[in-house]
Amino acid sequence: MADDAQGNPLALLEFAGTTGASGDRAGWVGGPARDVSALFSARIGRLPERTRDLLLLAALEGSGDVMILQSAGAPAGFDDLAPAERDHLVVVAEDDHIIRFRHPLVRSAVVDGSTAEQRRAAHRRLADVLVNQPDRRGVHLAKSTTTPDESVASVVEVAAQTSLRRGDPGGAVAMLRRAAELSPEAEKGRRRLSQAAYVAAWIAGELDTSHELLHALKGIPGGQPIGATAAAALLVLVTEGDGDTAYTMLMPALEAATSVDGPRTGDVEDALFTLTLAADYLGGREYWQPLMDLVARFPDPSPASAATLARVHHDLGSMDREELRRLDEAIDRLHDQTDTDIVIRTALVASYVDRLPECRESVTRVVRDGGAVGSSMPGLIYLALDDLYAARFSAASDAAAELVELSEKTGYPLWAQVGHYAAAMAAAERGDLDESIEHCERIWDWSGPRRVQRLVKCAHFARARGALGVADFETAYRHAVEVCAPGEVARFNPEAVWAAPDLIEAAVRTGRIDEARAHAEAFRSAGLEHISSRLALISGLCIAMASEPDEVVRIHEETLTIPGLEQWPFEVGRVHLAYGEVLRRQGRARDARRQLDAARKLFADIGARTWENRANTELRATGMSRAQSGSELTPQELEVARLAASGLSNPQIAERLFLSPRTVSSHLYRVFPNSESPRGQRFVMRSTPGRYRLRSMEPTGAQRVGYRDLVEEDPRLSVG
């Protein structure tokens, strides 16, 4: 609106009296606008017919390009515009070859004063001139044609694809819709409406428009095209989380469409992409094997294709160096890419192989430009994951919150659950366990009944990561084995790759050595080190944690020399921590302190508080005091201390906090290293944001102090 006002503040007031009409007949009616428009209409009506003709061309052409207008209606020059210039209706800027209306209502009055036939004729003349601009030519052809015409419909369809490549999905939907209306053949009309419905749902974020277009398809005779099936399946998946129905709709349609050799249309690609998404979130082996049989019919796929996505998700290790090189080249081309769908699909493949940092600029452009609301939600997923992997926890939480809000506002609850996962993992790694658990429970409540198993596993992954941070290894193991079974880094389960070090560490620390070694061997056999420095770090950590003592030091040293590891501070911190723990147990206290101090500093820098506390605990075990290491109580240690102070036994505390009795004992030992029991003692707690200190004081007489007394003792105490 501000653009149309052309710097005239009074025009903004005049616009307030307009109707919601759009198109060539948009009129300025009501209030002061009606009066001003009437004045302009009267002045325009007094102009010569030839002048009004040129003004109409200028109003419909839109840009004011003198060369286009001259080709369309003034081959001899613009002498016929002189009356309009003298009446101060237009300005002809000779330097930049632009014709400008002096007031936005002049343009409106010109259009309103014309007949439908005059407008169609003007659009036709403009279309004849714009042969080298297919998107603009298609717009004018669509508005100049009143009866079905395949030649026109084809041009309009091309214009729609051009609009899509330029990042205008809303315009593309409108053009495809118009192309369907102009299609004399019902089959082509159905196909074009199907494409419009898919673009509306996947890229534009216009669910109501997509539903409306699919409803309109029912009124066109003939069978349902595969594009309509893809659009309907996508709607079912993202709005209801019903992957089973989406999968059941698409599999037979794709089997029929690919049963013979030949080129695969864009509709088939969209259908395969949607089927892959459905299988991705369903997560079961029974869905993936039929899909991979189907994908075999798509030889030599491009890096951003649905077939590539399916192969990478199914077996991450199958991506060889040549395929990675081709993907890297495709990512490099994203810098100049305006097609939001290509950006998003490329980033989706890149997210599996740790190439999101290279996609970030292009993905951010998709999200912040605002024209492709549907694409913005997957874009926010990738921004949140990129921040998460780089240990920018606050930024990851912000992107996740924005994703959840946008998804709930626009009706895409599936994406909201992915936002909850990113938020849960960020909270787990920085040590906000209550927040992490809350997000996980939301995921389980929504995803469990819908059998969206991948998201269920994601929530277990976040819970395992959070439990490891507070050294609750039994709880961590219980959740990690829900992500994948020990000894099997399963295909079609990418979380099995990323959660492998969690399962192995939890298994080692709970005495399940055989399970840890079996899982480390499975990870080694997967051969993922070549994919990225992050996966090489994870691989080294997994193998080292389950290796014999004489091999561990060598493996950790090699792991810490991997090029590019500075991109992944959380994983590097875990390697330093595991290495320091091994050195301490080997009696090499000085070497252990060096590794543990590196871990502590890394975790402190990124705000991983519970992991920082773990490093501090190990530092104290090397002989360094709590004061020397700067250690303070973790939230879980504090809660255990509170319950112990209230008189609960270790088993009672374990039951209340869903911990093992051994974990409770471990916490109490760290909190009270010089006391046999904290019960019956009084505690004064001092808190700073996110950290706690505890000091023991002997009670007088039979005095016992519970949690409420502790809060009264220090009102600054956080509930934790």
pLDDT digits (tens, 9 = 90+) for 343-353: 999 999 999 99
Is the pLDDT at 713 greater than 80? The verdict is: no
Report domain 635-713's class: mainly alpha
Among 198-207, 263-272, 587-596, 638-647, name the one with the lowest average pLDDT.
638-647
Radius of gyration of the chain (CA): 33
Is the pLDDT at 445 greater than 70? The verdict is: yes
Task: With cut-offs at 50, 70 and 90, classify the pLDDT of residue 696.
Answer: very low
Is the pLDDT at 711 greater than 50? The verdict is: no
- Provide the pLDDT for residue 661: 82
Is the pLDDT at 368 greater than 90? The verdict is: yes
Task: With cut-offs at 50, 70 and 90, classify the pLDDT of residue 524.
Answer: very high
CB 230 within 8 A of CB 249: no
142, amino acid identity: A
The long-range contacts involving 216-224, CB below 8 angstroms and separated by at least 24 positions, are 217/190, 217/193, 220/186, 220/189, 220/190, 220/193, 221/186, 222/186, 222/187, 222/190, 224/190
313-330: burial string, b at 16+ Cβ within 10 Å, e else: bbbbbebeeebbeebeeb
- Provide the pLDDT for residue 26: 44
Residue 160's nearest CA partner among 169, 172, 168, 142 is 172
- Provide the pLDDT for residue 169: 94
Cα torsion 317, 318, 321, 323 to 10°: value is: -130
Token duo for residue 168: 């205008």
CB 104 within 8 A of CB 38: no
> If you average pLDDT over residues 495-517, what whole number do you get?
96
> If you average pLDDT over residues 116-125, what whole number do you get?
93
Angle at which helix 321-332 crosses helix 340-352, to 10 degrees, equals 140
Q: Domain map of the chain by residue range? A: 1-129, 553-628, 635-713
- Provide the pLDDT for residue 359: 97
One CATH from 1.25.40, 3.60.40, 1.10.287, 2.40.160 for 553-628: 1.25.40
- Provide the pLDDT for residue 144: 93
- Provide the pLDDT for residue 590: 93
Which residues pair with residue 317 across a beta bridge?
Answer: none
The answer to whether the predicted template modeling score (pTM) of the entire model surpasses 0.75 is yes
215, amino acid identity: H
CB 369 within 8 A of CB 167: yes
Give the three-state DSSP class for 218.
Answer: coil
CB 585 within 8 A of CB 579: no
**Distance between CA 178 and CA 625 in Å, rounded?**
75
Among 297-306, 307-316, 520-529, name the one with the lowest average pLDDT.
297-306
Task: With cut-offs at 50, 70 and 90, classify the pLDDT of residue 709.
Answer: very low
> If you average pLDDT over residues 269-278, what whole number do you get?
96
649, amino acid identity: S
CB 537 within 8 A of CB 575: yes
> If you average pLDDT over residues 604-608, what whole number do you get?
97
Q: What percent of the chain has pLDDT over 90?
A: 65
Residue 416's nearest CA partner among 393, 445, 387, 394 is 445
For the chain, what is the mean pLDDT? 86
Segments in 182-302 forming alpha helices (H)? 186-199, 207-217, 226-240, 243-257, 266-282, 285-295
- Provide the pLDDT for residue 34: 61
- Provide the pLDDT for residue 686: 42
Q: Which residue has the higher pLDDT, 142 or 658?
A: 142
Distances (CA, A) of 395 to 83, 400, 572: 59, 9, 20
- Provide the pLDDT for residue 238: 97
Distances (CA, A) of 454 to 359, 445, 459, 495, 573: 24, 14, 9, 8, 27
> If you average pLDDT over residues 656-678, what whole number do you get?
68
Residue 465's nearest CA partner among 382, 556, 538 is 538
CB 111: neighbour CB atoms within 10 A?
Answer: 20
- Provide the pLDDT for residue 29: 44
Is the pLDDT at 150 greater than 90? The verdict is: yes
Token duo for residue 277: 């998404």
Which parts of 344-440 are beta strand (E)?
none
252, amino acid identity: P
CB 493 within 8 A of CB 283: yes
**Distance between CA 361 and CA 334 in Å, rounded?**
9
- Provide the pLDDT for residue 300: 79
**Distance between CA 256 and CA 267 in Å, rounded?**
13
Is the pLDDT at 643 greater than 90? The verdict is: no
**Distance between CA 134 and CA 563 in Å, rounded?**
48
Task: With cut-offs at 50, 70 and 90, classify the pLDDT of residue 697.
Answer: very low
> If you average pLDDT over residues 368-397, what whole number do you get?
96
